[in-house]
Each structure stands twice: as C-alpha cells, then as structure tokens.
Amino acid sequence: MTIQLYTWNTPNGRKISVALEEMGLPYSVHPVDIRNGRQFDPAFLRISPNNRIPAIVDPDGPDGRPVSVFESGAILLYLGEKTGKFLPASLGERIPVLEWLMWQMGGFGPMPGQAPVTPILIKKVTVIAPPKPAK
C-alpha cells in the first residue's frame, strides 16, 4: 500500500522523501503549503498535531492498521523499523545510527531550515530597534 507523505519543499520536508526512495517504498506526496498556513488546517492537524511537516500516514501500519507519524526523526525510525533498512537490529550497531540521527535533528538539521529566515528576522529586528549611534 502507498504511504501518504505530507510535506513542503524544505530541507526537513525532503528528508522523508529521500528515505522513502532509498527504502523502495511507494508513496504519494501531499503538499502542505506552510507559506499560506496550511499546516494549521484541521485535517492536517489530525495527522500532525504539532502543525509541522513532514508527516506520514501508512495505511499498512503495525498490525495492518493505518498509522500516522509526525516529526522527521520519528518517521525515519518508524520507516527503519518497518523495512529493516538503515536501522540495524543489533543494539551495538544501532547506537551510532541513533547518535547521528539525533545530531542531525538537533545539531545540524535546524541550520539549513533557519538559513532563509535569519536574514528576514535580522532585517525586522534592525527596523524595529535600529542600532544607537556611537557617541
């Protein structure tokens, strides 16, 4: 069955499509236009209650029942468990995978996502509170 991927064209949004491709899982993309607030639509909030992309719905989840999963790290872990790919069964082999996943999610991952927003915020802060002239 086809996994439903709810995402937008951002670095974080692309992570899951890359994983789905590499794992050979069929999926269908449902764009969630975060520029226009579509992440707050009630239908999307039922899938991703924290109003963030990406999220998936797997119609063939645990015990053959549909399941929704939100947050990229949780999705990657779920897909790894589901397919047995990129997530070793052995705890010893799994530890470095988890370490690098956590580093990507909390260390490096946020930086590319913030890069386009930072200049906008700096400009707004400068307009709101311009620097005081030197005396």
Q: What is the DSSP letter of 2?
A: P
Average pLDDT over residues 61-86: 96
- pTM beyond 0.85: the answer is no
pLDDT of residue 130: 64
The model's confidence at residue 87, banded by pLDDT at 50, 70 and 90, is very high
Tell me what pLDDT residue 20 has. Answer: 98
Domains observed in the chain? 3-90 (3.40.30.10)
Peptide bond into 133 cis (omega under 30): no
Which of 50, 49, 47 has its CA nearest to residue 58?
A: 47
CA-CA distances (angstroms) from residue 45 to 39, 40, 130? 7, 6, 38
